[in-house]
Structure 1
Amino acid sequence: MIFSPYLTRWRLTADGAPIETATSHLLPVLHAGNPAMLKLLKPSSDEGPGIAALGWFGGAGAVRLIAAKDDAVLMERAIGTRSLTEMAISGDDQGAIRIIAAVAMQLHAPRATPPPALPDLTRRFRALFETGASHPVLPRCAAMARRLLAAPRSVGVLHGDLHHQNVLDSPRGWVAIDPKGVSGERAYDVANLFLNPVDVDRLVLDPARALRLANTVSDALGIERPRILGFAFAHAGLSAAWCIEDGINPRLAIEAAEMLEPLVGEVG
């Protein structure tokens, strides 16, 4: 059993069935009688820097990091039953966005300790920059990304994959899980919200919803709306590039980029 060495190392008791994702193996456990999650990153995972980010967040806006060793992580388990995806699709999309914005505020708050060394956004956008003209909108997404990255504002430690399924209910309130760990402009950290909830076209492709979302997170985070929409447009192109790399149909990301482009306005 791949978890056995860590069950022994950290004196854990299995508390559920193993879970496998594209990036990791997970096992619900008990640590000193409290619910926790043991996570082992796969060799192909891009979440390694997220371990450092999780430690730096210190439980403010994210699950607490209990222990880490190489590519193994023991963290607080969020055991609440509420779902932001369900909230959004059942009619309270704005409520879900406000919750995620409040979590982002906690994640982005200054800390007393120096931030860890993390990959930057230029590296994160590499797939988009290398995609070329697979679709006419992608070069324009890449141009927007380059423009934003050339003159960054309010740079800090970012979650890097903040969306409805990565913000969970817990006894401490809403907390983020699975950070990628990125250094860059704070506006990027809400870009993925425009593509979520995943596969819910009626929300993702609604320009009125996109503007409401932009206004909500702009007001909550104190970030200019054009930069939020600019990063949303650029990230939609990046998402499409990732889909193309993985042999997945990029339709929704492409259509989202085309919808977002006329909303961006003048980026300062």
Structure 2
Amino acid sequence: MEVPQSFRDMPRWWHGGAGWLDRLPALVADWCARWRLTVTGAPVHGSNALVVPVARGEDLFVLRLTPPGPGVAGQVAALQFWDGRGTVRLVQADVDAGVMLLERLDFEGSLARAPSLEAVEVLGRMMRRLAVPAPSHAPSTAGMVARRLTAMPAEWRRLGRPFDEVLLDRAMAAGARMARADSDLAVDGDLHSGQVLRGEREPWLIVDPVLLRDDIAYDLARVLWTRLDDMPGPDSILQHFRIAVGAAGLDLDRCRDGVLNRAVDYWLWGLAAGLTDDPRRCRRLVHAIDGPGEGGG
């Protein structure tokens, strides 16, 4: 097995990890021997993990390998918690090695390839499907928002006040309302079209969920900004927003708060990281959701 050059070129490896990449062919062979697997196709990848189609007899799986680290335990715990409810099913895992054996989904059937109106409706339904009682140790979205509220004004000033202060104030007020959430429902903290593939048990399954608890609407902004290039204007953005909210069975005003706060927060993060497209998308999203002329900049 050869490591795809496109995987080696990912920004994830610009500052380290070449040794792990070079060991990948041997790692795949080793884990296939341990778990009695046969490689059945060429590997695919995201930004951080290599996924290899494998089989054990007649049963088809994928072997997922990622650099060992503290994040692997959280990934495994999320898949174990939802146990196939709207998510890919975990078959085996070695947390210390960063290796998982997962049910096989359709690599070519990403929700990112579906029309955006269909995609946001599917994601809205998934938000609701995942909303079962969460473990108390899962990070709270209310706490995460509250912590960001303490940092956002200083970041806004450090970045040269990139938009009008009235917009920052509105995003802060929305965040303060989000920080009062008190729910025990499970939330996927990294939900977007690129994380969803076609399955057989269910039409669509999430491949890399992040387990949080509290506000189901927490990641609605990401659902929208990752497909914003498919939305030509404010009316289209609002249409997608309302479809997602309706599919999730959520309160429109609460969701507007969530989108406003999270999009402004990500706008600041994107500027600090030197991004160009994502801050532009967040600006468009904020102005559509919060109303034209509210934010300047």
TM-score, normalised by the number of residues in structure 2: 0.72
Q: Report 1:1-268 matches (<5 A).
A: 1-42=26-67, 46=71, 48-70=73-95, 71-79=98-106, 81-88=108-115, 93-110=116-133, 115=135, 117-121=137-141, 122-123=143-144, 130=151, 132-133=155-156, 134=159, 135-136=162-163, 139-140=168-169, 143-144=172-173, 146-172=175-201, 173-197=203-227, 200-203=228-231, 206-249=233-276, 250-262=279-291
Deviation of residue 214 (structure 1)? 3.0
Tell me: CA distance 1:25–1:87, structure 2 relative to 1, closer, same or farther (3 Å): closer
Q: Secondary structure at the match of 1:108?
A: coil
Question: Matched residues, percent identical?
Answer: 25
Query: d(CA) in 1 for partners of 2:136 and 2:33?
Result: 29
Deviations 1:2-49 (CA, angstroms, capped at 9, x unpaired): 334432332222222333433223222224432222222335785642
**Equivalent pairs, count:** 254
Tell me: CA distance 1:247–1:48, structure 2 relative to 1, closer, same or farther (3 Å): farther
Query: d(CA) in 1 for partners of 2:200 and 2:230?
Result: 32
Tell me: CA distance 1:154–1:116, structure 2 relative to 1, closer, same or farther (3 Å): closer
**Root-mean-square deviation over aligned CA pairs:** 3.1
Q: Is the 8 A contact 2:44 2:51 kept in 1?
A: yes
Q: Is the 8 A contact 1:46 1:180 kept in 2?
A: no
Query: d(CA) in 2 for partners of 1:14 and 1:225?
Result: 47
Deviation of residue 51 (structure 1)? 2.0
* Counterpart position of 2:14: none
The AA in structure 1 aligned to 2:55 is: L
Deviations 1:148-173 (CA, angstroms, capped at 9, x unpaired): 33211544221112111212111221
Tell me: CA distance 1:164–1:209, structure 2 relative to 1, closer, same or farther (3 Å): same
Query: d(CA) in 2 for partners of 1:25 and 1:125?
Result: 35
Q: Secondary structure at the match of 2:214?
A: strand
Query: d(CA) in 1 for partners of 2:146 and 2:271?
Result: 14
Q: Is the 8 A contact 1:191 1:232 kept in 2?
A: yes
Query: d(CA) in 2 for partners of 1:44 and 1:124?
Result: 25
Deviates more, 1:212-221 or 1:55-64: 212-221
Q: Secondary structure at the match of 1:17?
A: coil
Runs of 4+ off more than 6 Å? none
Runs (5+) with no aligned partner, structure 2 = 1-25
Query: d(CA) in 1 for partners of 2:44 and 2:109?
Result: 20
Query: d(CA) in 1 for partners of 2:240 and 2:37?
Result: 41
The AA in structure 2 aligned to 1:66 is: V
Query: d(CA) in 2 for partners of 1:171 and 1:177?
Result: 14
Deviations 1:202-221 (CA, angstroms, capped at 9, x unpaired): 41x63223322332233333
Q: Is the 8 A contact 1:13 1:30 kept in 2?
A: yes
Tell me: CA distance 1:168–1:20, structure 2 relative to 1, closer, same or farther (3 Å): closer
Tell me: CA distance 1:24–1:87, structure 2 relative to 1, closer, same or farther (3 Å): closer
**Structure index of larger Rg:** 2
Q: Is the 8 A contact 1:97 1:216 kept in 2?
A: yes
Runs (5+) with no aligned partner, structure 1 = none
Query: d(CA) in 1 for partners of 2:56 and 2:169?
Result: 49
Q: Secondary structure at the match of 1:68?
A: strand
Query: d(CA) in 2 for partners of 1:192 and 1:26?
Result: 24
Deviates more, 1:8-17 or 1:127-136: 127-136
